[in-house]
Amino acid sequence: MRRLVVLGGGTAGTMVVNKLRRRLDRSEWEITVVDRDDDHLYQPGYLFLPFGTYTPDQVVRKRHAFIPDGVDFVIAEVDRVDAERSRVVLRDGRELPYDYLVIASGTTPRPDQTPGMLGAEWRRSVFDFYSFEGSTALAEALRRFDHGRLVIHITEMPIKCPVAPLEFAFLADAHLRERGVRDRVELVYVTPLSGAFTQPIASKQLGDMLDERKILVEPDFMVERVDNEAKALVSYDEREVPFDLLVTVPLNMGADFVERSGLGDELNYVPVDRATLQSTTHPNIFALGDASDIPASKAGSVAHFSVEIFVDNFLDLVAGKPMTGAFDGHANCFVESGDGKGLLIDFNYDTEPLPGAYPLPAVGPLRLLRETRANHLGKLAFRWVYWNVLLPGRPLPLPAHMSMAGKRIPAGATVGTTTKE
């Protein structure tokens, strides 16, 4: 009997076990998935909890409900991976031998890594929304906040869902306007990037949207500490950004067991081949979703598209064939912009977000890099798709590889393609 162990029952791990259980012979393969608890959290919903769009019960379900029959679900903390012996060692002393291992343990906010972030103001005037506890606590703080300086802050890249801080800024602007207190609040967006986003075309579009909403941008800000007494962010170059309410995205890091296992980089992400997601040091280990070091967005769409490529590659590998599939870094993300509208961006390793139509040329019905009601509705509808289609591993009629069909390159722009507007 051959053994596949999957560490992490989140988005990537759940999709993997659902897809592979259907395609691997049960008489030849045992599949085990390990996670620390039985709560599966719909992380895109964290953005909406502070504004009351979602309630807590809409973003939490039980993991075991999405684990298929024929897959062992182990609730336990992972101590380390003994890659030389091909075993997973659990905190309770149990060992799980494997022939192949998938690390899908995600990424986690680490406020403890920034001096002062977990100080006296934590969850009083300093909040995160990248965790269930943080987003629910922030909901109460936002209800009380009606004047002063609201600062939205990114500690360092990479972060999961890199557009989420921008979405929070846009939604906060709309929320404050709806309450009639926007003119009493100064909104500031603090980022380590030189602009609103990592790619120039999208950065200009999103930066213009911040300007239109009178949201001040503080770029190239590398935070050194949070000064709780002064209620200010302090950068390494000694700039200070005072706040009355700080909504921060702490440093994101991979799982600690990755570090203990000697399998990660300085942020505990697993170095892999960016096309096959195979470990660069152990050929029977793969890292999927946010757990890998691939130069792509840490987003659910990346998990989805990469899993599609991984499954076919894995089946070839265990059959003794070469892996011919290559993940291209494909990601697409809805960007909530407030007032019932949103944008959509679609990109990969080599091509930045461009304007156009998606998924069908001209027809759409979704528009790229343009605010529309349809994009907002698409984001809300995705919650149903997530629970009912993606997690169970059912087919979604979207290509795993990014297509240039329907995209336009603005005049004067230079990207890794040959088509011009």
pLDDT at position 412 is 63
pLDDT at position 421 is 31
d(CA 113, CA 93): 29
Instruction: Of 49, 23, 160, give the one whose Cα is nearest residue 105.
Output: 160
- Report pLDDT digits (tens) over 375-417: 999 999 999 999 999 999 999 888 999 999 999 988 766 655 4
User: Tens digit of pLDDT per residue, the chain (421 long)?
Assistant: 999 999 999 999 999 999 999 999 999 999 999 999 999 999 999 999 999 999 999 999 999 999 999 999 999 999 999 999 999 999 999 999 999 999 999 999 999 999 999 999 999 999 999 999 999 999 999 999 999 999 999 999 999 999 999 999 999 999 999 999 999 999 999 999 998 887 889 888 999 999 999 999 999 999 999 999 999 999 999 999 999 999 999 999 999 999 999 999 999 999 999 999 999 999 999 999 999 999 999 999 999 999 999 999 999 999 999 999 999 999 999 999 999 999 999 999 999 999 999 998 888 899 999 999 999 999 999 999 999 999 999 998 889 999 999 999 887 666 554 333 3
DSSP-based three-state secondary structure for 118: coil
pLDDT at position 310 is 98
pLDDT at position 195 is 87
Q: How many H-runs (helices) and E-runs (strands) does the chain carry?
A: 7, 24
- The domain covering 115-252 belongs, at the CATH homologous superfamily level, to FAD/NAD(P)-binding domain (3.50.50.60)
Distances (CA, A) of 73 to 6, 7, 38, 97: 10, 10, 9, 15
What are the residue ranges spanned by the domains of the chain? 2-106+255-318, 115-252, 330-421
d(CA 310, CA 118): 38
Contacts of 39 (CB under 8 A, 6+ apart): 60, 61, 62, 63
d(CA 331, CA 306): 9
- The domain covering 2-106+255-318 belongs, at the CATH homologous superfamily level, to FAD/NAD(P)-binding domain (3.50.50.60)
**Phi, psi (5° rounding) for residue 103?**
-95, 110
Task: State yes or no: cis peptide before 365, omega within 30 of 0.
Answer: yes
| Longest CA span, the chain | 66
Instruction: Of 385, 387, 388, give the one whose Cα is nearest residue 41.
Output: 387
